[in-house]
Amino acid sequence: MLRLKAIFSYDGSEFSGYQVQPGKRTVQLELERVLQTMHKGESVKVVASGRTDAGVHATGQVIHFDSTLTLPNDRWKTALNVQLPRDIRILSVEQVRDDFHARFDAKGKTYRYIWSLNEIHSPFERNFTVHADRYKPNIELMKQASCYLLGTHDFSSFCASNTSVKDFVRTVHSIKLEVQKGSNQLHMVINGNGFLYNMVRIIAGTLWEIAIGKKSVEEIRDILESCDRKKAGKTAPAHGLYLENVEYFE
Amino acid sequence: MLRLKAIFSYDGSEFSGYQVQPGKRTVQLELERVLQTMHKGESVKVVASGRTDAGVHATGQVIHFDSTLTLPNDRWKTALNVQLPRDIRILSVEQVRDDFHARFDAKGKTYRYIWSLNEIHSPFERNFTVHADRYKPNIELMKQASCYLLGTHDFSSFCASNTSVKDFVRTVHSIKLEVQKGSNQLHMVINGNGFLYNMVRIIAGTLWEIAIGKKSVEEIRDILESCDRKKAGKTAPAHGLYLENVEYFE
């Protein structure tokens, strides 16, 4: 039995999220279906760094799985891509130590959130960015507010209420906010040691409300300290979010 | 009755092409459905600069239509976009002279064709570019071959056989070929006074075969002179093609 780690990308638009759910098309289902075919009908369980919700994309999601097959890394990649649907693409496969765990060994993650600032929301961006609509966001205010979130905090205010998690303390290492000139998109890139359920989308939604003047910069401090989900902004839409990278302990 | 000209964009992925066909979702159908609602059930016929096939995109398609409504141009745009599906977006609407005709008054068109040269075809590009797969195209050869197509020629060799057209003479003003560094995409931008059925896709397919060494540069001359569709390359896939601009006589 060899343990393999795969890094992959998916367009979340036509998936009911990452995790297997009865009767739904999910990313995990497609991966396990293809692996089962490659293993002559024997089921292969894949373990991801974490789930993503319906509509959320990934450019660097990570899984591990065990296999009896002995293929060179590049052959693994090609064999999986040939059989996977075109909205999932394997970027790399490598053999790892037997006890590598895609979820428990993750020491950090990077997510990207993208808004389109174009007056008209291009049909080609419609599933991949959230439209700013008539709003002209003040990026400086967003940057100021984002500084309050850096470091180690109880992020209860930024966690969806339907969670089973007990420990709400996480560390956010960086939040970068930048307008990309050519595409006129606003990108938020956030890195931390882990994220609560919907945490990135609630941070995006809250910073956005600050950017458009619905909340003040100073409020972010009260929101964080209150540990009350109701104080934070709305959960920003799923289709603006990308899981970009998962870092592991060596 | 006022005559209006609208410029619009669409993602062709989920349309059975531009033109109305019984039982199919087409761009024209969606436009006429929304205009009919705006005109209290009265049907409004739209006339486009030309059709596009299933899967073909547009960033600057043009229609004209007549209306009894008197709205400022910007209100027209907003009213249409609110009701249209998100894979069609109106970019501008303006009142034009009563005898303006979106098809007959067109003096030129620009199309763009995009190949992705990335080793892995990104899920986010899959409907918007054609994947070069394992091929490394020789762009210089494509450029050399494209020069033979410039000017006024009988383009029968570059026209799908199922056409009712009698006159195969068209003028190609320019063909630009360029690799975009950031995205690693190859773009072909072609401008001419008009294009035969599938002409851009057959030109793209033929230049591609030259780029990957399946045909020589010199062959393009024979292909053109033979007036025989069978000599040219395969029709390149629809989802790499964009109608970018339509020019009109003032």
pLDDT in tens, B143-171: 999 999 999 999 999 999 887 889 999 99
Predicted pLDDT of residue B161 = 84
Contact with chain B for residue A90, Cβ under 8 A: yes
Predicted pLDDT of residue A205 = 98
> Do β-strands A185-192 and A241-248 pair in parallel, antiparallel, or remain unpaired?
unpaired
User: Of A44, A222, A236, A228, nearest to A132 (Cα)?
Assistant: A236
CATH fold for domain A107-248: Alpha-Beta Plaits (3.30.70)
Contact B128, B239 (CB under 8 A): yes
Mean per-residue pLDDT pooled into runs of 10, chain B (250 residues):
97 97 97 97 97 97 97 96 98 97 97 97 98 96 98 97 89 97 95 97 98 98 96 98 94
Contact with chain B for residue A215, Cβ under 8 A: no
**C-alpha–C-alpha distance, residues B17 and B135, integer Å:** 29
3-class DSSP assignment, residue B8 = strand
**C-alpha–C-alpha distance, residues B96 and B137, integer Å:** 44
Could you give the angle at which helices A199-211 and A139-147 cross, rounded to 10 degrees?
A: 130
Contact with chain B for residue A158, Cβ under 8 A: no
Residue A29 structure tokens: 């289902």
What tens-digit pLDDT sequence spans chain A (250 residues)?
Answer: 999 999 999 999 999 999 999 999 999 999 999 999 999 999 999 999 999 999 999 999 999 999 999 999 999 999 999 999 999 999 999 999 999 999 999 999 999 999 999 999 999 999 999 999 999 999 999 999 999 999 999 999 999 988 788 999 999 999 999 999 989 999 999 999 999 999 999 999 999 999 999 999 999 999 999 999 999 999 999 999 999 999 998 7
Residue B172: phi and psi, rounded to 5, are -100, 120
- CATH architecture for the domain at B2-96: 2-Layer Sandwich (3.30)
B27-64 residue pLDDT tens: 999 999 999 999 999 999 999 999 999 999 999 999 99
Predicted pLDDT of residue B189 = 98
Closest-CA distance, A199 to chain B, in angstroms, reads: 24
B contacts of A86 (beta carbons < 8 Å)? 121, 123, 126
Topology alike, domains A2-96 and A107-248: yes
* Beta carbons within 10 angstroms of residue A184's beta carbon: 16
A104-159 residue pLDDT tens: 999 999 999 999 999 999 999 999 999 999 999 999 999 999 999 999 999 999 99
The H or E element that residue B80 is part of is helix B73-83
User: What residue ranges do the domains of chain A occupy?
Assistant: 2-96, 107-248
Residue B110 structure tokens: 């620009």
- CATH architecture for the domain at B108-248: 2-Layer Sandwich (3.30)
Cβ distance of B87 and A126 shorter than 8 Å? yes
